[in-house]
Amino acid sequence: MIKDGCAHVKPAAATDLSVFLLVTWSLWWQTGHEDHVGPDPPRSESNCLLRVQEVGKIRGVFVLVDEGSPLPNRVLVSLAAFFLRTWGDSDLRVLRLCSLYPSAVIFSAGKALHRGALGWKAEWLFSIIRLLRLSPALDGLEVSVALKQGQVTPTELCQRCLSLIKKTKFLNAYITVSEEVALKQAEEAEKRYKKGRSLGDLDGIPIAVKDNFSTSGIETTCASNMLKGYVPPYNATVVQKLLDQGALLMGKTNLDEFAMGSGSTDGIFGPVKNPWSYSKQYREKRKQNSHSENEDSNWLITGGSSGGSAAAVSAFTCFAALGSDTGGSTRNPAAHCGVVGLKPSYGLVSRHGLIPLVNSMDVPGILTRCVDDAATVLGILAGHDPKDSTTIQDPVKPFTLPSLTDVSKLCIGIPKEYLTPELSSEVHSLWSKAANLFESEGAKVIEVSLPHTSYSIVCYHVLCTSEVASNMARFDGLEYGHRCDSSVSTEAMYAATRREGFNDVVRGRILSGNFFLLKENYENYFVKAQKVRRLIANDFVNVFNSGVDVLLTPTTLSEAVPYTEFIKEDNRTRSAQDDIFTQAVNMAGLPAVSVPMALSTQGLPIGLQFIGRAFCDQQLLTVAKWFEKQVQFPVIQLQELMDDCSSVFENEKLASVSLK
């Protein structure tokens, strides 16, 4: 029993609890309900009462507070966390679920309760619970349970995400919103659920796809004039696999042109804005630090190049999104947007239909709000594809991650070369904290060396541009997308098409690549770079052969920077800085995942990266899940954004993300 004037609960009743409700005592008193757990609280003693509702399996914590409650949200959330630790399931996903409800939603609920307090009925309570469960703030797995239990329909979920996409249009996360397709898919999913024949965990779940994956009948632009208007006749294998599982395709997300970049600022549709720029957490810190600049001109980049996908997941417009990762493009924006970003082992997931950047390094990436969801999506995507000869031959079994992991037998490697002078002191200290966390749980944490790390960026430059030069040859104005008007000669048509179709970054890389591939340069640049690549890959092999299970590194040098700051440097310089911890992994084809750890003093997300042995993606995700559980990264609080920015989106008021 918790005595400190806040709550009363019978622990014995809590093993199969579904929902804990914390409501203000005064409010609860007015409802006249008899069935609360524990003795009636004396009026003078407390202002809160813990209520236990049994609605199916364990679900999470809802903190409903009336407007007049003197308890700050922080206290309520830690109370809820305490209840869960004491009586809840050991799986912290439950706890996550609690924190996944933005406080603004919680407080909106409080207001609704308060207004209705006099005419309070039990059914109200249940309908509020039901509505709260509709929140796209749920993680994918939780929502799939809600779908199966009929607490939410695929169409409701789809409409909610579509409405959020509209409200957050100014983030520029989507290039194409496939509303009609998604609603149609939702309708079909609904029929399946009604017949009790759902296709699996992703049936009826909204997802988004980076706009460099081919989608049948849906424009696929790579954020380039070259492919504007191009509608592929087929789906990328990964897209098809998601659709076969019943996922709802909400749209195609924004990126740097042809995925060349690290900010999602260099595409023809303009830059993507980081949802955290508008979060309560960041805004409050800015106020404290008395920044007087215009808020909206100071928005932050998402990182890239899969920034649209990261923003889409972070702003609750979908539950999972596909990115691509050639040098860090999934992990980097994941770290900046406070979501999980997984780069699977090269060859585990098909690249068929992913418009290539660097074929020997590209991997479809997965962005989700929790590690479990990334594992679910990976389980669906992984496996041999006859259309991609680089995929593994062996069958891959879908897997679920254990709730409890014993990390005491693990050996965690800390690569000493990753401690660079440019690393921000905050990221450095979180990195050390994370290492200590593993050590305190009995894991062996050792310093390791990856001696060729410093050559990785320059080596990448040679290999990337060489493959780009070869890859981009297909865009000649004949087969795909853009063709210029010139009819002087075929050569003139090629040249003008490519000049008009590609931006400076792409053209620059094609030129560099062709230079490295010239007969007289080939040995000195391309072949040499291939040799260096082998050395870099061998560094990892040696470390893993020495007994290290997983490497722990920063994902980025610092938290996301304002757009105005970011564009002071060119694309190449930025990539060289931003890919510093992520890029070598692509050279070696290893799996790696960025997991959000904490907020910086500015109130912005910082993620850390785990790197695993080739094809040990499951082990990697198990460690990542354990870590995620320990750190309890806070949920983004976007309610203020929705309200404050209402004028930006046609004066539309978003009363609440989930209550309508």
- Looking at residue 632, the DSSP 8-state letter turns out to be -
- The tokens of 315 are what? 């702003």
Closer to ligand GLN by CB, 328 or 612: give it: 328
Pairwise CA distance, residues 307 & 273, whole Å: 8
Class of residue 646 by CB neighbours under 10 A (exposed 0-12, middle 13-18, buried 19+)? middle
Pairwise CA distance, residues 574 & 567, whole Å: 9
Q: In the range 353-412, which residues lie near ligand GLN by CB under 6 A?
A: 357
Q: Is the backbone of residue 51 left (phi > 0), alpha (psi -120 to 50) or beta?
A: beta
Answer positive or negative: Cα dihedral of 174, 175, 177, 182: negative
* Nearest by Cα to 558 from 430, 447, 470: 430
Q: Which stretch binds ligand GLN (CB under 6 A): 145-153, 185-193, 246-254, 321-329?
A: 321-329
Sheet holding 60-63, edge to edge: 48-53, 19-24, 60-63
By the rule CB under 6 A, 326 interacts with ligand GLN: yes
Residue from the set 178, 279, 317, 324 that interacts with ligand GLN by CB under 6 A: 324
In angstroms, what is the minimal distance from the CB of 596 to ligand GLN? 19
Answer positive or negative: Cα dihedral of 99, 103, 104, 108: positive
Total residues binding ligand GLN (CB under 6 A): 15
Closer to ligand GLN by CB, 328 or 347: give it: 328
In angstroms, what is the minimal distance from the CB of 170 to ligand GLN? 25
Residue from the set 41, 154, 303, 328 that interacts with ligand GLN by CB under 6 A: 328
In angstroms, what is the minimal distance from the CB of 423 to ligand GLN? 18
Pairwise CA distance, residues 382 & 238, whole Å: 9
8 A C-beta contact, residue 182 and residue 250: yes
Closer to ligand GLN by CB, 261 or 308: give it: 261
210 labelled catalytic: yes
Residue from the set 305, 345, 456, 555 that interacts with ligand GLN by CB under 6 A: 305
Closer to ligand GLN by CB, 235 or 305: give it: 305
Q: Which stretch binds ligand GLN (CB under 6 A): 69-77, 193-201, 323-331, 523-531?
A: 323-331
Closer to ligand GLN by CB, 224 or 326: give it: 326
Torsion of Cα atoms, 445 then 448 then 450 then 451, to 10°: 160
Q: Which of 46, 69, 178, 305 is catalytic?
A: 305
x/- letters, 556..575, toward ligand GLN (CB under 6 A): -------------------x
In angstroms, what is the minimal distance from the CB of 21 to ligand GLN? 45
Pairwise CA distance, residues 125 & 252, whole Å: 38
In angstroms, what is the minimal distance from the CB of 562 to ligand GLN? 19
Closer to ligand GLN by CB, 304 or 634: give it: 304
DSSP 227-279: GTT---SS--HHHHHHHHTT-EEEEEE--SGGG--SSS--STT-PPBPGGGG-
* Nearest by Cα to 579 from 261, 173, 223, 342: 261
In angstroms, what is the minimal distance from the CB of 470 to ligand GLN? 15
Q: Which of 46, 103, 329, 350 is catalytic?
A: 329
Residue from the set 79, 117, 260, 445 that interacts with ligand GLN by CB under 6 A: 260
Q: Which stretch binds ligand GLN (CB under 6 A): 26-34, 130-138, 327-335, 607-615?
A: 327-335
Q: Which of 69, 108, 198, 210 is catalytic?
A: 210
Closer to ligand GLN by CB, 85 or 474: give it: 474
Residue from the set 138, 464, 584, 587 that interacts with ligand GLN by CB under 6 A: 464
Pairwise CA distance, residues 660 & 109, whole Å: 10
DSSP 82-109: HHHHHHS-S-THHHHHHHTS-HHHHHHH
Which amino acid, one-letter code, is at 514?
N
In angstroms, what is the minimal distance from the CB of 165 to ligand GLN? 24
x/- letters, 219..258, toward ligand GLN (CB under 6 A): ----------------------------------------
Question: What are the DSSP E strand ranges found in 418-543?
Answer: 444-448
Residue from the set 372, 579, 617, 628 that interacts with ligand GLN by CB under 6 A: 579
Closer to ligand GLN by CB, 139 or 579: give it: 579
Pairwise CA distance, residues 334 & 336, whole Å: 6
* Nearest by Cα to 38 from 63, 13, 58, 59: 13
305 labelled catalytic: yes
Closer to ligand GLN by CB, 356 or 612: give it: 356
Q: Active-site positions?
A: 210, 305, 329
Q: Which residues bind ligand GLN (CB under 6 A)?
A: 259-262, 305, 324-329, 357, 464, 575, 579
